Structure 1
Amino acid sequence: MWSVVDKLAALDRRWIFLLMLLAVAIPILFELQFDETPTQQAQAVFDEIERLQPGDPVLLSFDYDPASEGELSPMASSLVLHCASRDLKLYFLSLYPVGPQMIEENIQKVILPDFSDYVYGEDYVNLGYKPGYEAVVKVIMTDLRELYTTDSRGTNIDQIPMCQGIQSVQDMKLIVNVSAGYPGVKEWVQYAVTPYPDKVRMVAGVTGVQAPYMYPYIPKQLRGMLGAIKGAAEYEELVNEAYIEGEPRPVYREGVRRMGPQSVAHLLMIGLILAGNTLFFLQKIHGPAR
C-alpha cells in the first residue's frame, strides 16, 4: 500500500493535465448537459422582469466585449428573450466601445428570428455607445437627449416614436445591465440607483470574478444578479420553461451547454484536491519515501 502511495505522490503532473483535457473535451464532444436548479438570485432577476407590464420601457446596457462574451452572451440573449416575450419596450445602449456590436448580435440572434412583430424604433432601439464612462450615466439620469441626440444608425432621437416622451433614465421601469467590469454594474449602482432609490430599479449579469464585489448591493440597489455562466444557465432554464414550447433553439441553451465542461472540470479539480490532501496525510503517517 505504501509503495502505491509513494508512486501516486510522485505522479508526473502531465497525467493531471491530460485528465483535465479529457474532462473538458469529453463533455464538449458528447454535448453533455445537466439540468440547472435556479438559485434565489436567478429567480429574483426573473421575477423583477415578470412584474413589468407590456409596453413598459426597459433600459438594457450591454457593457461587455468579445473577451467576456463566453460568460455574458448567453445571459444577454436570455434577458432579451424574456423582455421581448413580455412585450416590453427595449432601449439598448453601451458604455463599452464595442458594446453596440454585442447589442446588434443579440438583436440578430433573438429579436429578428423570434419576434417578427417587433419594429425598430417602435418596440426596440439601439442608442449605441457614448464615451465618458460613469459620466455618461450621471448625465442621462437627468437628460438623455444631452448625450443621445441620435441612435446608432444616425436617426434623430426625436424622430424615433418610442423615444418621444422619454426624458431620462428615470423614465425607465427597469435597468438591465450586463457587465464585464469597468464601467458597468458598480457605476450604474453608484450613479443611477443610489441617487434615485425610489425611481430606479436594477438587475444585472456579471462575470464570475466580478460577482463577489457586487453582493453587498443585493437586494437594496440590485434586485437580482446573474453570476457568470452558472447564473446564465439557471436563468435560461427559467425563461425557457416559461416562454418556449418544445425544444429551445441552441442560442437559448448556450449557458447550459457551456456548463457541461465546466461542471466536469470542477468535479475533477475537487477530486484532485481531495486526493492530494489524502496522499499528503498518508505520507506524513508513513514517513518519507524510501
Structure 2
Amino acid sequence: MRKSVTAVAALALAFGLTACGSDSGKSGGGDDDALVVGATAVPAGEVLTYIKDNLAEKAGLDLEIKEFTDYVLPNTALQEGTLDANLYQNQPFLDEFNKSKGTNLVSVVKAYLPPMGVYSKKVEDIAKLADGATVAVPNETTNEGRALKLLAAEGLITLKDGAGANASPADITANPRHLKFKELEPAQLPRSLDDVDVAVINNNYAQDAGYSPAKDAILLESAKDNPYANLLAVKKGDEDDPRVEKLARLLVSSDVKKFIEDKYQGSVLPVTSG
C-alpha cells in the first residue's frame, strides 16, 4: 500500500500544476532570465511570493513561481528542465527520490522547517488516544517514516533499531495501544479526519485545509535536531547559477526570517543558515 514515485508522473505533469506568472522561463537561462521555481502553495509559494514582491527586484532577481499540488511533479519538472529550482521538500525525501528515480537533484540551502503534526476531530489530547484507535499516515516512503518517528518519539509505538527515514508499519516492534494504521495520499489526510481517530499530516496540507499547526495539532514535531527542513533544490551542476545563489541568500535573510515568524506564528520555523 505504500506509495513510491509513480511511473505516471510524467503524464500527470501536463495536468498537475498551475503557474503564477508567465511560462516563458526555461531552465539553464542567463543571468538576466527569470529563475523558474516550483513550489507547493503553502508555505513555499507564500515565502517565494514575499521574496518576489518585496526583495527580488533589489537583488537583481527575476523570479517566476509555478505552484504544484503534489510531491512528485516538482522534482520531475526540475529533472526535465522545465524548472530551474524547486522549494518544497526535505533532504530525506530528496535522497529517496534520487534513489528511486535515478535523478540527480541536489540541495542548495535549507529555508525553513514546516513541522509535521497529528490532528484529530475526536481526540483533544494525544495521551488519551484510545486502545485500537485508527491512525492515518502518509503513504509516501519518507513521509510515512517521518510520521511513524513522530509517534515513536511520543512513546505511542516502538520502531526497530535502524528503521531510519524509510520506516514503515512493518518496522513497528511494540504497539501497546494496538493502533491501526491507514496509509493515504498525503493530500487526502485532512479529509480523512472524519473517518479516523487521528491523522499525521504534512504541514502544507494541514495549512491548505485551514489548520494552524502551532494551535491545532495535538502533537507537533520539535525543531531540535530535525532533519526535515525544506530546501531549495536544483539539478546537479546548477548550484552556482548566479540566480540560484541570489535566491538562496534571500531565503535565509533576516527579512524572510521575520516574514516567516510574523506570518506563521510558530506553524513554520525559519532556518537562518544552510
Larger Rg: 1
Higher helix share goes to which structure? Answer: 1
TM-score, normalized by length of structure 2?
0.27
Higher strand share goes to which structure? Answer: 2
TM-score, normalized by length of structure 1?
0.26
